[in-house]
Structure formats: structure tokens, C-alpha cells
A and B are shown apart, each in its own frame.
Chain A
Amino acid sequence: MAEQFRTCPTTGLKVHLPAETLIKVNAVAAVVCLLVGGLAALLILLTRWPAIHLLDEEWFYRLLTAHALDMLIAWIIFFEVAGLYFGSTVLLNNRLPAPKVGWVAFILMVVGGAFINYTVLVGQATVAFTSYVPLKASPLYYLGIILFAVGALTAIGHFFAALVVAKKEKTYEGSLPIVTFGLMCAATIAVFTLLHGAAFYIPTFLWSAGILPHIDPEMYRLAFWALGHASQQINVCAMVAVWYLIATLTTGAKPLNEKLCRTAFLLYVLFINVASEHHLLVDPALSIWHKIVNTSYVMHLAVLASMIHAFAVPAMIEVAQRKKGFTKGLFEWLKKAPWGNPAFASMFISLMGFGFVGGITGVTFGTEQISIIRHNTWSITGHFHGTVVLGTTLAFMGITYYIVPLIFRRQIFSETMAKLSPYFFGGGVFIFANAMMFAGGYGIPRRHWDVTFAGAQFPFQFDPTAFFFLALTGLGGLLAIIGGALYVLNTVASVFIGKKIQ
């Protein structure tokens, strides 16, 4: 057993080698998906920029589907699985109880992801991320999603098993570290959202294979969003856990009141799932009071959780910084923060962006009357790029700068690229997410190949100002892609040709 461990020279923690390998392969798979999704992002960005309008409509909708699945599902969940293994082994001095199960989960996810990408790229699944019935993909597509989800569920079960083992073998004392606690909340949300996913992807698969005659489209919408939105709360939870981790690693900060932070995590678990109904605010079939109840009361308790983290994370950094002597005025602690450290910069931009760009717009667009104005416009796309790209993706990018030296035992290839990446990426997403939201305000639809309606019977002419925002989206998007490319190149270079750390 002993030879399965090494001791990390930096942290002094025991690292379980089979766990380390699984963290590596999942993290690599995540970055590969980010690369594929990023290439798709570049091409669809250049298509929605009316002055360029690069792809034809077939390829636009195919790559739009691939972009969403590779980013929102594959990149984020692979990275989260790596995070779950890290949080349940390295952070707890612990071992993974069944590395073989970890490999089964990984293979299921890779095979599922391959099915999804294959069917989408050959044009058998041009159904967009939501695959709203009666849009029909080939059965292989739904099977791919089911396999990916089963793989992810297996990995999550493995995570919980590792927590039990750690507790039994007393590898740590006291409470779980807050990062692992946050990941545990994310994993809990993941279990019920993925089960929701199974509850409707399995019948949809059977429908696509010709076994079930009919799926009610509204039932599908209701069930889909129990997965589609609630699963974003896995990302929020994991992202916040990463904020705490980066804050501690970069400034030595400790949560000021663990009760407060942990209660906030629990609020996510308890209250976020029903809020998914805001996707259905302008749908038929559901009564208005059903919609109001589900989008108002408990959703705001989940919002309260984000408000608490928005206080707790900067507060712990401020206290740590003041202890170091940065006490002048109100903001010296922030001015003298380690802005040149890419992990810190990523975390802080992620925190501000998630709150002010993604969060606030989510809360407002999710109200009954504003939903009438914003539903299915590009504003919605702007909103969720504020949450999952500026928020989750940037936070995950930030922690990579610690995972590479600690787990891959390689030095970061280029300090300069690492320093620049979060500012390009964060600034770019900030610009394009906001520009998308303004464009949506003019009624510019999401998921649309040509908003000039060339060739349509009755082309509608949008306000010329909207086209300014379309171009601004293109420019901001290019900046973000430069930042993303710096990250991917630097990470790949570090892993393969970075200087080895003994």
C-alpha cells in the first residue's frame, strides 16, 4: 500500500498515486474539450458577427450544438470530476477506494463524449443543446449523453465513497475542509440533477429509436430544465469552492466564519432546483401561480447563498491582507493583492463577473414580466456566459496554475502567458457578455444564423444600434478567445514540456 503514495514536497500532504493519475486524465480530457469547444466558439462567433458571417447555416447550427455540449457539459464536468478526486484524496490525506471504478467512469464519459461529438459533427444531431422535442437526433446522440451522465454519476459515487473511507480511516481531524465541503454540496446537486436527466433522456432515446411513439414537448421542457438549469448550480457550487481554495492558496486567507460559508453552501443544495422554472415563464400549460411560486420564494434563498459568498470571500482576503500590514485606507488590501498571480486574478475577476454580470442579470431576467422581454433573446446567452464562462470557467482556469505544479509536477511553461490570460479572457467575456445582453434588448434572437434575414419572405430590419452590439460581441469574443488560447497553449505546454519538479 505504501508505495501507492508519494509525499508532496510543497504541501507535505500524502498523494495517492492512482488518484493522481485519475486527476491527470480527467483534467487533460477537460482541457481537450475546452480546446474543441473553443474552436467551435471562434467559428460561431465569426458567423454571428454580421460583417464576417463565416459558416453556412448547416455548420453553424452543428457547431453551436457542439460548442454548448463540449463546454457546458464536457469541459466543466471533466474538470469537476478531477476536482472531486482532488478534494476527496489530496486535501484529506486520503486514498481513492476503487481506482478501477474511476477508470470505468472515465471511459464511460469519454465514450459518451465521443458519441455526442461524432453525431453532432456528421450532422445527425443538429438539435442545439436543449434538443427540444420534436427535434430529433440519432439514438447514438442520446445514448452518448446517457453514457456521459452515468460515467459522471459513477465518479460522484466514488467521491462519496472516498469521503466515507477518509472518515473511517481517520485521515483527517475535525470537519471536512470547506473546499471539500463545497465540492460535496456540488456532488449532491449533481446526483439529483443527473437522475432528472436520466428520467427524460432515457425516454427520449427510446423515442428517437422508434420504440416510444410520442414525447410531450412541454413535459420534455419541464424535465429538461430540472437538469439543464439545476446542473448549472453544480458549477456554481464547485466554482465557489474553488474561490475559497484559491483565496487560501494565494493570500493565506481563512474563512472568517465557517458556519456562515457552509450554511450558504447548504442553501444552494436545498433551494436551487425549483428555480429552474424561470425557463418556462412564457410557456403554455403551466399556471401563472405555479410559475411565480417556483421562481420567487425559494430561488431567493439560493440568491442569499451567493450574497453570503460574495461577502465572505473578499472579507477573508481583506483580513489576511490587513494582517500582512496593508492597512492604509479602505482599499490598500485590494490594491496590494497579488494581481500578478494568475490564480488570484482569475478568482477575483470570476467573483466580480459572476456576481455583477451573470448573477444580477439572472435574477432580473428570471422575473415574470422581464422574461417576456428577454426570453430567447441574445440577452439570455449574455447572462449565462457571465455565469459559466466569466464565473466557472475562469475560476477553473485559475486553479489550474496550482494543479499543474502540484499534481503534474511541472512548472508553468510561461509566466507571462499565465499572467496575461485571465485579463484577456475576463475582459473579453465581460465585453461580449454585456454586448450580447444589449443586443438582446433590441430583440436579437439567440441561436440564429442570420439576423439580417437575407432570403426570408418578410425580412425584419433590426435597429442599426443592435448591429453595433453584434460587432462589439465579436470583438469582445476575440479577446476572450485570445485569453482562452493563451490558457490552453500554456497548460498543454506546461504538462508536456514544462520543467519537471522533483
Chain B
Amino acid sequence: MSITVERIWWRPLDREEKIWVTIALIWCLGTFFMMPVWHVIAKQNTPNESYKVSVDDFEKIVIAFNEKYKVREESGVPVVHPPAGSDIYLAGTGIWQWSSILELEAGKEYRLHISSIKGGGDVAWQHGFSIVSAKFNANFMIVPGYDYVLKVTPTEAGEYGLICNEFCGIGHHLMAGKIIVKG
């Protein structure tokens, strides 16, 4: 019985099989090396800075930030124009809204802190931070209790859509806001 086992396991590969496996292995090695290599070459990578933060503390920071830099309101939502190059704060709320409309300046780098707050609701949900426009989209996770820091440099003036793309309850589909970039 054991002889049969050995025959199945130790029969050498044919030429075609060897060629295919070699090509596939080289391809796999290529993709394997490209992951770290592209992280060094690419201009747009996944951010690598995040902190644990209590939901309530982040809410206080967001409220203070909104009060300090609020320039006007649109449909009851504060439009916030922070100084160029500063730390800025944005949260998804428990009532399926975004904490503000950010007004940024093109060509300036900001440190955008994203997280989740109750914001008048009962629970700080997980949300999806999804910037959408006619030209591109970019998506990051918003996890309650974590402050995720994205380094953002808006390059073109205009209005960008900001939608939630992680299911966060029945109001999920209403969670649409925007980010304004001034030229």
C-alpha cells in the first residue's frame, strides 16, 4: 500500500509542468516583491499613523475644532476653514452625518484626523470615508476608538463628494457630505 503512496507523490514533473510552475513562481515572486517596492516608489500609499482615542475625547476635539474655524453654515452643517497645513478633524456621527464641511486650500498639506463620534446619536458606528469625484475616488476605514491620520494635499480646486461606504445602520444611504477645495 505504501508503495502506491510513494509513486503518486514522487513521480517527477513533465517538461510542460516544470515550465508552467517556473513561470507561475516567477510571476508570484514578482508580485511579492512589488508590494514593498511599490510602497517605496508610489506617491500615494496607505497612511501609517493612527492612535487609540476615546470616542468622547475625539468628539470634544471635533466640537472645539468646528467652533474655532467655522466660517458659515450650509443646511445646518458648519463649514470649517482651518489654517493651511494644520491638523484638521473630521468624524462620522451616530446620526449618519459628517461632522463638518471642510474648506481646504489647494496645494497645502493637511493632517486629516478621521474617526467616529456619537454626535447626538447613541452609538459611534464604523463608517467608510469615501471621497468621490468625477476624476477619482479614495476610501479609508473609520473605526470608533481609533484616530486615523491621513496626510492630504488637495491639488485641484472644486467640490468633492464625501460618502459613507461602510454599512452603518438604516440611515447609511443618507450619509453624504462634501469637502470644498479653494484654488
Where the two chains meet, the residues of A that have a C-beta atom closer than 8 Å to any C-beta of B are: 57-58, 61, 126, 128, 130, 132-135, 170, 173-175, 216-218, 221, 256-260, 262, 280-285, 287-288, 291-292, 295-297, 300-301, 303-304, 307-308, 311, 315, 363, 367-369, 371-377, 442-443, 445-451, 453, 455-463
B166, A443: Cβ atoms closer than 8 Å: no
A285, B167: Cβ atoms closer than 8 Å: no
Q: A282-B139, A311-B24, A376-B139 are in contact. List 18 more A-B contacts (CB 8 A).
A: A132-B126, A174-B4, A174-B8, A257-B17, A259-B8, A284-B143, A284-B147, A288-B46, A292-B36, A307-B20, A307-B28, A377-B139, A456-B174, A457-B97, A457-B176, A458-B74, A458-B77, A460-B162
A61-B167, A218-B145, A448-B165 known; A369 vs B176 contact (CB < 8 Å): no
**Contact partner, B25, options A260, A304, A456, Cβ 8 Å:** A304
B178, A368: Cβ atoms closer than 8 Å: no
Q: Determine chain B's interface SS by DSSP, over half rule.
A: mixed
Cβ of B39 within 8 Å of any chain A Cβ, yes or no, is: yes
Closest to B168 in A: A135
CB distance from B130 to the nearest CB of A (A): 6
CA distance A257 to B20 in the complex (A): 13
Residues of B within 8 A of A443 (CB): 130, 132, 137, 161, 163
Write the B23-50 contact mask toward A (1 if CB under 8 angstroms, else 0).
0110111011011101100101110101
Residues of A within 8 A of B48 (CB): 287-288
**Contact partner, B123, options A134, A460, A462, Cβ 8 Å:** A134
B36, A460: Cβ atoms closer than 8 Å: no
Residues of A within 8 A of B16 (CB): 315
CB distance from B164 to the nearest CB of A (A): 8
**Contact partner, A376, options B5, B125, B165, B177, Cβ 8 Å:** B165
**Contact partner, B46, options A134, A371, A442, Cβ 8 Å:** A371
Residues of A within 8 A of B42 (CB): 368-369
**Contact partner, A173, options B4, B14, B44, Cβ 8 Å:** B4
CA distance A134 to B121 in the complex (A): 13
Cβ of B146 within 8 Å of any chain A Cβ, yes or no, is: yes
Closest to B74 in A: A458
B32, A463: Cβ atoms closer than 8 Å: no
Residues of A within 8 A of B144 (CB): 134, 217
A300, B9: Cβ atoms closer than 8 Å: no
Residues of B within 8 A of A373 (CB): 136-139
Residues of B within 8 A of A455 (CB): 174
CA distance A489 to B75 in the complex (A): 53
A296, B32: Cβ atoms closer than 8 Å: yes
Closest to B131 in A: A443
Cβ of B72 within 8 Å of any chain A Cβ, yes or no, is: no
B46, A458: Cβ atoms closer than 8 Å: no
CA distance A375 to B47 in the complex (A): 14
B124, A284: Cβ atoms closer than 8 Å: no
A295, B35: Cβ atoms closer than 8 Å: yes
B139, A175: Cβ atoms closer than 8 Å: no
Cβ of B141 within 8 Å of any chain A Cβ, yes or no, is: yes
A376, B17: Cβ atoms closer than 8 Å: no
CB distance from B48 to the nearest CB of A (A): 4
A282-B139, A462-B132 known; A132 vs B46 contact (CB < 8 Å): no
